[in-house]
Structure 1
């Protein structure tokens, strides 16, 4: 009995000690409660107030993220009985997620269709804050149980966001598809987790003894368990072969929700993937399949499938959905050559990709609000009517393609350099295939990205209908993002010095 009491005392002491490293997440939990209570108290009048509270709260969380850099000067910290890991790269990922989420919360209210929802957007802000909390957990999770709980928390919030516009049949259908695919991937991942736990006898994947125990199991069995877990994580990353949900869900969801799903969960999923596979890569005990070769193959197929499918699309949102699959494949190049340098490169690439993707979707909303244009053909002649927005669209698409002098070019250059540096040492045919595919698919991406500038400036339309409502906020956001993409392309060290 005395031993049990002392164990409880030690556990409580460990929990209280961990809270000092968990302050941003504590504030996010409180922010979720405050936004929800604000909505309950003020009802339909709470829209602007909930938005102000959510945005101000996220800025406070960003400040707390920055303060966490001082906590890890003496190294990484495992907290809550080894469930979560606080590291420098993890803090940077959280910082990116919070800043992008702040922009997206502002963006929610600027979409005419979403803003016209009869229930208002107050619920959506509380769901988004809950999702950000789950994304923080995904970035820090290093225990099989915490990994599963974090992914499920984000998934449930994502299902609600996709189907938020219940009066829209297409949105409801997209939400249902997302739930079905998500439930299947969750079940697959949970089965893989149970197998890994049964084989290793531990939920802690970060420790060497867990991999040692796995090495005593038949390599086929342990590899099968690993593949199942990676498929579950891959659902969030949307790499091939678990990418089928992306086009329909992205097209069916409201454009700001599409911007959210295509950026911040993907960033958190990459951080989670790095945490999960690092112990298996940096050890000699793992006897299963070669993880580097597996991701080289997945990255190659994902780049090809995403970019070639995007060429065939006419709907702007659907085209950007397939484009995001291609970008996932390109980002996997940095995972294949996993190291501290490649993680820094990956962080930079994901930041500039996310900014550009949000900018592109914000401009898709702008043209939908102003001229009702949703397909590429409907953009004809709009470049002369909306010159500032159109020029910004061109800059953002140049960054997504990876052309100078934008941040997209710098990001792709860094990724290629990281892969080529490892190739010079190993002369791996898989790395060579990966680089060739990356270069070719970058050229292919020109064929679908150029459709938008072509229709904006070089094709004419007899009459363009202009709405009375001006989307000034979206225009300001697109100008800001365009400026940042050029600035980060010229001065990438502003970001890299934080890593």
Structure 2
């Protein structure tokens, strides 16, 4: 104890210095408390006020992210005794998370089944903000302890979000499945982390002794531990073979929650995967695990499984669930390059995917209020009755597919370019297979994404009905998203200059 006393002043000084790099997270903590207190003070009448506070606060946090990005530049700084890291890539991913979260906070009140819930939406805003705080920590975690705590913070918040409509049996079942699968994956990941700690005696991924100790350990033990840890991360990324929970949970959850699960946690999980892999990739002596081989195989299988399974779906939410699995596999292509160009391509791809995916699910909500169903066959003949929403739906789906002139096309082009650039230097056949699989599955995705435009514009319903007046909020948001996707496709440098 007496040996620690002289170091207290130095540690406190270090913590106070690190706080300057932790400003967005501090504001998130304060925002969570303010929204929670607002809910407690105003009770059932607090829903609108909580929404205003949450959205306003998130805009402030986005501004803090921008300031931090400009302040940090390309510097890398380890915070709080190496528990977290602040880097250019991490700040970019956090900015994507926060902009997406703001869009989702607005979206929650536009979903009628969720809005009509007896508990109202006040709790939903505070839970979402807590989840965003956990996502920030995921993007910054470089210590096995902080990795586990960040993932669990996001997981607990996600469980609550999925089962928020507790009066709905389908939603409750989805929440129960998510808790069971999530608990199992967390246990597996924690066991892998305990093995890594036992092998190395350290929890810090960037501690030089961490990788050095693993080099001296039996290869089979290291591979086993790494696979277990990747299972936990793969649960958030929903790549094969830990993707089986996705269709049922996404279909059973309220549509805005499906939009949250299928987009924002993926961004944080990819940032976490980058942090986890970096210490091993930069050390040429570490050869126990060929991450390029493992992730390439996972990416190929995930693209095939996600896209081909989506072809067989007629439920729009299940179709988008399987397509999100396919998109995860495609994004893994950028990770496998282990290059700065690949990471930049990944950031662009995830940014435009998240925007398009949220827009697609907004329009699923829009047409559900018209038809009372998420089945794409119920969209027959609606394209000419609701032309603005239908045209926006087509544009967003074009971007998700990756067709010109959309931002999705540019994102896929950047990823292909990054993979091919690395292939030219090392002629790794796995990169070639990834490229071929990505191209083939992009064509396959046409077969299910085009189901919606086909029903909207080319098929007729047998019982025509008068158009139903819809709230304009979702339509305005969909139009803005569609315009953004086209503009970013035509002028990608508007986004790439900030990545």
TM over 0.5: same fold? yes
Contact 2:138 2:272 in 1 (8 A): yes
Contact 1:371 1:467 in 2 (8 A): no
Deviation at 1:391, TM superposition (A): 0.4
Q: Equivalent residue of 1:166, what SS?
A: coil
Counterpart of 1:243? 243
Distance 2:165 2:464 in 1: 28
Distance 2:467 2:46 in 1: 27
Counterpart of 1:221? 221
Contact 1:369 1:469 in 2 (8 A): no
Counterpart of 1:292? 292
Distance 1:236 1:248 in 2: 15
Counterpart of 1:101? 101
Distance 2:466 2:11 in 1: 63
Contact 1:306 1:326 in 2 (8 A): yes
Distance 1:70 1:277 in 2: 26
Distance 1:266 1:363 in 2: 21
Counterpart of 2:263? 263
Distance 1:63 1:386 in 2: 36
Distance 1:308 1:468 in 2: 35
Q: Equivalent residue of 1:202, what SS?
A: coil
The answer as to 2:476 corresponding to 1:479 is no
Q: Report matched runs for 1:324-363 at 5 Å.
A: 324-363=324-363
Deviation at 1:429, TM superposition (A): 1.3
Q: Equivalent residue of 1:78, what SS?
A: strand
Counterpart of 1:52? 52
Contact 1:300 1:329 in 2 (8 A): yes
Contact 2:222 2:289 in 1 (8 A): no
Tell me the TM-score normalized by structure 1.
0.98
Contact 1:382 1:464 in 2 (8 A): no
Q: Which moved more, 1:449-458 or 1:205-214?
A: 205-214
Contact 1:370 1:471 in 2 (8 A): no
Cα RMSD of the aligned pairs, angstroms, is 1.1
The number of equivalent residue pairs is 499
Counterpart of 1:83? 83
Task: Say if 1:209 and 1:34 are closer, same or farther in 2 by CA, change over 3 A.
Answer: same
Counterpart of 1:420? 420
Distance 2:208 2:450 in 1: 49
Distance 1:299 1:3 in 2: 50
Tell me the TM-score normalized by structure 2.
0.98
Contact 1:105 1:125 in 2 (8 A): yes
Distance 2:113 2:220 in 1: 50
Counterpart of 1:370? 370
TM superposition outliers: structure 1 runs of 4+ over 6 Å: none
Contact 1:370 1:466 in 2 (8 A): no
Task: Say if 1:73 and 1:381 are closer, same or farther in 2 by CA, change over 3 A.
Answer: closer
Distance 2:200 2:71 in 1: 32
Distance 1:453 1:10 in 2: 63
The answer as to 2:129 corresponding to 1:111 is no
Deviation at 1:74, TM superposition (A): 6.6
Q: Equivalent residue of 1:81, what SS?
A: coil
Contact 2:386 2:467 in 1 (8 A): no
Q: Equivalent residue of 1:85, what SS?
A: strand
Q: Report matched runs for 1:21-420 at 5 Å.
A: 21-73=21-73, 75-420=75-420
Distance 1:113 1:478 in 2: 19
Counterpart of 1:17? 17
Contact 2:240 2:298 in 1 (8 A): yes
Deviation at 1:285, TM superposition (A): 2.5
Distance 1:492 1:316 in 2: 29
Contact 2:74 2:88 in 1 (8 A): no
Distance 2:170 2:285 in 1: 49
1:379-421 per-residue CA deviation (whole Å, 9 max, x = no partner) reads: 0000011000000000000000000000000000010010011
Distance 1:70 1:48 in 2: 34
Deviation at 1:3, TM superposition (A): 3.5
Deviation at 1:156, TM superposition (A): 0.3
Distance 1:322 1:393 in 2: 18
Counterpart of 2:462? 462
Distance 1:289 1:278 in 2: 13
Deviation at 1:287, TM superposition (A): 2.9
Distance 1:494 1:469 in 2: 36
Q: Equivalent residue of 1:383, what SS?
A: coil
Contact 1:369 1:467 in 2 (8 A): no
Deviation at 1:466, TM superposition (A): 5.6
Contact 2:306 2:322 in 1 (8 A): yes
1:6-39 per-residue CA deviation (whole Å, 9 max, x = no partner) reads: 2222222211111110010001001001101100
Task: Say if 1:493 and 1:217 are closer, same or farther in 2 by CA, change over 3 A.
Answer: same
1:447-467 per-residue CA deviation (whole Å, 9 max, x = no partner) reads: 000100000000001334468
1:340-359 per-residue CA deviation (whole Å, 9 max, x = no partner) reads: 11111000000001111001
Q: Which moved more, 1:434-443 or 1:69-78?
A: 69-78
Q: Equivalent residue of 1:191, what SS?
A: helix
